[in-house]
Structure formats: C-alpha cells, structure tokens
C-alpha cells in the first residue's frame, strides 16, 4: 500500500515522524521506540542514508519491544502523522549560545515547515531545535497552524535539571521537588523560587528543617549550574541528547494520553503577565489537542521583572526575523 497519499483530513495519533536524525533526533527515536506507543515511525533527514541507517538500526531492536514499522522516508510520508517532531538544524558549538543559532536554523525551518504543510495541516508540531522558543514562533508563523498545535520543548529539560540538582543538594528524591524554570530556554531563563516546594513544604522551611543552605548565594549557584549545564556537556562530549530525549518523551506522553498535565513548554503568550506575540516557556496544560491553556502562575516582583527581560530578549530576536518569515 502506498503511504504517499496527497490529501488526508484525519491523522493517525499512533504514527509519528522525526525530522532530523542527528544526536537528538536519533536518541529521541530510540527513546520513543521503547515505549510501544506508536505503530509507525518515519525518520526524515536531508541525508537520506543517515535516516536509512538509523531506521535499520532501530528496527533491529524491535524483537525486544512492541511491533512497530520504522522506516526512512520523505515529506510525503507525513500525510497522516498525528505528531511531527522537529529536531533538525545546526548544532550548538562549544562557546556558542542558543540564540547564536537563530538565523541559521530559521532558514532551515522555513524549508522544513513549508514542506510539512504541503502534506499535513492537522498534526501537532513539536519543536525541539534551538533556539526553541524563537523556532516555535517561526514554525507557528510559517505553518499557519493554530498556536495550540505548535509546541516547543521549552524549559521542560531545564526544570528537570533544576529538580535533579536541587534534590541532590537537599538529599531528597528529585521527583518530590516542585519548581519551574520559565522564560527563554537559554541565558535569560529564570527559576521560580517563590513557589518552590518539596512535596508541599515551602522550600525555605524544608531547607531550615534539614539544615541545608537556602541563602541567595546557594540558590544563585544552583541556578547557574542549571543554566550553564548544557554548555559544560557540549564542551565535554560535543552535544546533549539523552535528557532532552527524555523531555520529549514526557511531552509526547502528555499528548498521546490526553493527560491535561502541566509542563513548562514553549507556547504562544497572549496577554499573560501583560505580554503578547511571543513564544516563551511557561507552565501549560498539555493534552491531546496540544497546549490547552497557558497558566499565569504567581511570581514575585523580581521574578516578573526577569520574565519581562526574557520576553524582551525573545521579542528582539523575533523582530529581526519577522521580515524573513513568510506567513502562510
């Protein structure tokens, strides 16, 4: 049966595509293969041989997992995909910020997203490539999709890093630590310390009860470790991919299971905190329909100011690109 049908008004939620078979794309494919959630996965890359090699390697592991059709394809194979994950783009080099990548990857995305929309206008698009907030905006503008169906991986990974480091500092299971990193997935991101807690116990009180430091210097040091962790990993091994693949898996679970769970993904901000017209990472209710609601969680005065600074950073980047983006 020919998969390459030109028109399709419905999508198959058990079929996904990953565009970009580099470290992040391949690791994401491997992570999702093990879940058994999908019956079909198509891998697309500008280097077809790379996509074919990754698909074959993954397929050879299927006897240890649920049956699944994994293959290398092209954009025509997206026709009935329910979920399209975009990981393609230039890699972040040692010493380079995520925002340094913006023009290069925006040009790449113009081609990718235009090709997607030829064959599919009904999927959820999940953007992972950096700078993810700006590229989520670019994807939304070029695709013409409702903003609810264009989602960036946002600060889901940054929040996980904060929970892990804070849990280690406190000597407690990181799954019991509750706090968010919000704003830009990048240098202007910020931690929400004002509502941080350990299983409902205010972070300040918890630190006092277990004799752990809660002073500003300690918190600033923890946050810097979160913010700079990707740079350190890139310097050490060239790229980050395991933890981001797990982050993507968590977002995908929320979509496929219609969980209505709250995750700090990158979404269109429309009036929240007095901001609008920009994609940035805030806690959102994520369900089968995509981003169901962007939440305006309480912030203290300092956190609000930092969030506005992050928004300005992203708005400036978007403003520079707007003349290059063709709106569908």
Question: Which positions are catalytic?
Answer: 185
Is residue 129 packed enough to be buried (19+ CB in 10 Å), middle (13-18) or exposed (0-12)?
Answer: buried
* Ramachandran angles phi, psi of 77, nearest 5°: -75, -5
Q: Write the CB contacts of 108 (distance below 8 Å, at least 6 apart in sequence).
A: 88, 89, 90
Distance CA 319, CA 324 (A): 10
Distance CA 266, CA 134 (A): 9
Q: Which among 121, 206, 223, 183 is positioned nearest to 309, based on CA atoms?
A: 183
Residue 251 · residue 86 · CB < 8 Å: no
Look at strands 69-72 and 197-198 and give their pairing: unpaired
Q: Write the CB contacts of 35 (distance below 8 Å, at least 6 apart in sequence).
A: 249, 253
Distance CA 300, CA 266 (A): 21
Distance CA 29, CA 58 (A): 8
Pair of tokens at residue 32: 């999702």
Q: Write the CB contacts of 206 (distance below 8 Å, at least 6 apart in sequence).
A: 170, 197, 198, 212
Q: Which among 119, 117, 160 is positioned nearest to 139, based on CA atoms?
A: 117
Give the chain's radius of gyration (CA, Å).
Answer: 20
Q: Write the CB contacts of 282 (distance below 8 Å, at least 6 apart in sequence).
A: 182, 264, 267, 269, 272, 294, 295, 296, 297
């Amino acid at each position: 049966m020919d998969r390459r049908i030109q028109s399709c008004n419905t999508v198959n939620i058990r079929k996904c595509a990953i565009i970009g078979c580099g470290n992040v794309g391949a690791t994401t494919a491997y992570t999702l293969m093990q879940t058994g959630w999908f019956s079909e996965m198509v891998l697309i890359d500008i280097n077809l041989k790379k996509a074919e090699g990754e698909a074959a390697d993954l397929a050879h592991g299927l006897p240890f997992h649920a049956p699944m059709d994994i293959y290398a394809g092209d954009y025509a194979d997206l026709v009935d995909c329910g979920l399209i994950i975009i990981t393609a783009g230039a890699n972040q080099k040692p010493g380079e910020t995520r925002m340094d990548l913006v023009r290069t990857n925006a040009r790449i995305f113009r081609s990718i997203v235009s090709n997607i929309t030829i064959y599919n206008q009904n999927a959820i698009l999940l953007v992972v490539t950096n700078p993810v907030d700006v590229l989520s905006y670019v994807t939304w503008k070029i695709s013409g999709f409702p903003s609810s169906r264009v989602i960036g991986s946002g600060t889901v990974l940054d929040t996980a890093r904060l929970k892990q480091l804070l849990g280690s500092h406190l000597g407690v299971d990181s799954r019991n630590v509750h706090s968010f990193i919000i704003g830009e997935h990048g240098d202007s991101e910020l931690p929400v310390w004002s509502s941080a807690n350990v299983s409902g116990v205010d972070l300040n009180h918890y630190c006092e009860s277990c004799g752990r430091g809660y002073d500003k210097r300690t918190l600033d040091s923890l946050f810097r470790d979160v913010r700079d962790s990707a740079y350190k990993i890139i310097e050490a091994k060239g790229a980050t991919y395991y933890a981001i693949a797990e982050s993507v898996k968590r977002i995908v679970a929320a979509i496929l299971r219609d969980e209505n769970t709250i995750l700090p993904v990158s979404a269109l901000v429309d009036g929240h905190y007095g901001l609008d017209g920009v994609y940035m990472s805030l806690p959102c209710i994520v369900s089968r329909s995509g981003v169901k609601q962007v939440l305006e969680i309480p912030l203290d005065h300092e956190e609000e100011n930092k969030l506005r600074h992050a928004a300005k950073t992203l708005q400036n980047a978007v403003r520079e690109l707007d003349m290059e983006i063709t709106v569908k």
